[in-house]
């Protein structure tokens, strides 16, 4: 019995140290083509905010991308698809949020909206609708409206400033 307890304690400490060694947030966007093409219409979401299956599904239907035609030249499509796949949540386990997002998802890739991922929903559940739907925010898709360091891939609570509310403290 004592051996089992020591074994469980050892495994627990290994898992804890593995988790503790992760970098906060998600990897920042570092692809100029992605920033140019995708960031021209909306915030250039970090690839680590979705798993590769979700990015593949999203990229497969750019002619109807959240109500807009976001079709790309074939060369750009291939380059951006590769960037998203290579930096997706399950490939960015060194980052805490990517790790949490990937582990909250089903493997089927049916979720293409970051705001519909289980992790995202859990993190935003306590925010009153009036703050989310106000004109200066417009919706949960608009990360930079409240997350002052979102472009750096940092989504820490201490960096949240909700318009017409102030600092958010969960």
**pLDDT interval class at 47 (50, 70, 90):** very high
Higher pLDDT: 24 or 131? It is 131
By three-state DSSP, how is residue 6 classified?
helix
What per-residue confidence (pLDDT) applies to 16?
A: 46
* Other CB atoms within 10 Å distance of the CB of residue 88: 24
SS (H, E, C) 99-168: HHHHHHCCCCCCCCCHHHCHHHHHHHCCCCHHHHCCCCCCCCCCHHHCECCHHHCCCCHHHEEECCCEEC
Residues 69/62, Cβ–Cβ less than 8 Å:
yes
Task: Work out the burial of residue 142: count CB atoms within 10 Å of its CB; fewer than 13 is exposed, 13-18 middle, 19 or more buried.
Answer: middle
Q: What is the pLDDT of residues 71-102, one digit of tens each?
A: 999 999 999 999 999 999 999 999 999 999 99
| Band of residue 114 on the pLDDT scale cut at 50, 70, 90 | very high
Determine which of 8-17, 30-39, 44-53 has the lowest per-residue pLDDT on average. Answer: 8-17
> In whole angstroms, what is the distance from residue 48 CA to residue 27 CA?
7
Here the contacts of 35-43 (C-beta below 8 Å, separation 24 or greater) are 37/72, 37/76, 37/80, 38/70, 38/80, 41/68, 41/70, 42/141, 43/141, 43/142, 43/143, 43/144, 43/150, 43/151
Give the chain's length. 170
How many whole angstroms separate alpha carbon 39 and alpha carbon 45? Answer: 8
């Amino acid at each position: 019995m004592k051996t089992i307890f020591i074994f469980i304690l050892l495994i627990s400490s290994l898992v804890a140290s593995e988790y503790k060694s992760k970098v906060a947030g998600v990897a920042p966007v570092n692809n100029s083509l992605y920033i140019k093409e995708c960031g021209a219409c909306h915030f250039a979401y970090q690839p680590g905010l979705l798993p590769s299956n979700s990015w593949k599904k999203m990229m497969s239907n750019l002619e109807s991308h959240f109500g807009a035609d976001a079709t790309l030249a074939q060369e750009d499509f291939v380059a951006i698809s590769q960037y998203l796949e290579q930096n997706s949540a399950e490939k960015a386990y060194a980052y805490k949020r990517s790790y949490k997002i990937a582990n909250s998802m089903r493997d089927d890739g049916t979720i293409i909206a970051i705001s519909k991922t289980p992790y995202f929903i859990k993190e935003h559940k306590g925010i009153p609708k009036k703050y989310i739907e106000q004109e200066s925010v417009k919706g949960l898709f608009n990360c930079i409206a409240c997350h002052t360091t979102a472009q750096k891939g940092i989504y820490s609570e201490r960096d949240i400033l909700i318009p017409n509310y102030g600092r958010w403290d969960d």
